Structure 1
């Protein structure tokens, strides 16, 4: 194991302020009610999950006919069950479903089988647009086999012959606690200081909704409005939770087995930015937890 070159315990006093970016914000809220939209039938695969449930809600608020498709509603993308009926008359299909396994071979098998069935059903039904959610930096994260499976999913979409928009998003605020847990040994959280630009699930959903209601754009990137060092982000999160685990800055620490640099988890120039800051999300999340 490589020797740790630098260790830094959390110190008293406020953490450095995150770097804030300014760009055209996600437009869902701004567009709502500002112009008349043609009502469409939109199928959301994975419509009961963290992002999918928010996508369904936002689309229904804008007046669209939305079908949340999942095994619980009789739609199984891996076997193809229920796809024909679900896609009948659909204008747009949104796929935000994830593999039930993060193991490389299992995830690849899931995305390939689901993709083949989805695109065959879309073409038969005359679906006009396919929208999928993916991960920023997928090609830079291949040490973790799951991301190789996500990259294969993107290639399948690109070669499907269907008009498509792939929304690549940065890490979600909702998963910061899981990152801390993955990096915990005893009462110590060991993470790198690589840059990360995470975003709220509500902003991710807004980006997916915008993509579904616009012409096909190929690949687009979305990110949060602020950039943090990963160790700083974890400290801020744990402090807000009154969690006393020590955060150690370790340049050799792995992120789900991946060696990070400042490009690994950040968007390219020109990415669209969400509007919800980490501090605002923390306050809202604490209020929800206390209710």
Structure 2
């Protein structure tokens, strides 16, 4: 089966390509550096020729409100049209647990717009809602730093390894279209500050991490459970401390 992976040269996309190829599928990475640009439409018709499934794990190069909305609206619209023209049978998109609960954030409004376009397109689809990746703990710290101190809300989340995200996306790609959302997450519900503090300590980063009830998550206010997946989520087994220890070997 031919599967085109949009964003297929990035962190998750490259792992999805490797996983699908190991299972015997023709997995094709598609990104600007392979000659495929979903914003302009360049290369889409050619790469989708003969494809049965499209997996979209791409992300906006800018998280500014207007830019990220433009990216997801334009790229998703172009991609869905090209898929319909090519006779693609299944669209799989990677999104985020809690997207609908984080609409005060410009990034999550853009992700919601992407999901709405997919639902309204008539294309058979599966949306994978993932929790935050272990690899992005420092990035979260950077986004949450105010005057040299990392300030995070008193919320919990269930971060997961990018390998586990890619495995779940690959499973969705070869399964029948769900016509809905599947949630995936890590095995542990942790306070936000805990893995961020651990990651900074492991990197020798001296920044202090504090819990601040006034702090938001990507610009949106959150409750303790806002970032947690529901009871039916598929949970991976890789724990953060085990993953971090493996990275340091």
TM-score by length of 1: 0.82
Does the CA-based 8 Å contact 1:225-1:276 persist in structure 2?
A: yes
Aligned to 1:264: 226
1:141 aligns with 2:114: no
CA–CA separation in structure 1 for the residues paired with 2:18 and 2:233: 24
CA–CA separation in structure 2 for the residues paired with 1:120 and 1:188: 45
Does the CA-based 8 Å contact 1:50-1:201 persist in structure 2?
A: yes
| Pairing partner for 2:111 from 150, 168, 174 | 150
Aligned to 1:116: 77
| Pairing partner for 1:85 from 43, 46, 55 | 46
CA–CA separation in structure 2 for the residues paired with 1:138 and 1:185: 24
Task: Describe the SS at the equivalent of 1:43.
Answer: strand
CA–CA separation in structure 2 for the residues paired with 1:249 and 1:88: 50
CA–CA separation in structure 1 for the residues paired with 2:143 and 2:40: 32
Offset, 1:133: 0.3
Offset, 1:186: 4.8
Offset, 1:91: 0.8
Offset, 1:187: 4.6
Q: Please tell me the root mean square deviation across aligned C-alpha atoms, in Å.
A: 1.4
Does the CA-based 8 Å contact 1:194-1:262 persist in structure 2?
A: yes
Q: RCO greater where, 1 or 2, for CA within 8 Å and sep 6 or more?
A: 1
- Max Rg structure: 1
Aligned to 2:211: 249
Aligned to 1:129: 90
Count of residue pairs the alignment pairs up: 248
Q: Displaced runs of 4+ in structure 1, greater than 4 A? A: none
Q: Could you report, residue by residue, the CA deviation over 1:93-115 in whole angstroms, capped at 9, with x for unpaired residues?
A: 10111111112222222112112
Q: Could you report, residue by residue, the CA deviation over 1:232-274 in whole angstroms, capped at 9, with x for unpaired residues?
A: 2222222333433322222212222222212221111110011
Offset, 1:173: 0.7
Task: Describe the SS at the equivalent of 1:165.
Answer: strand
Does the CA-based 8 Å contact 1:193-1:232 persist in structure 2?
A: no
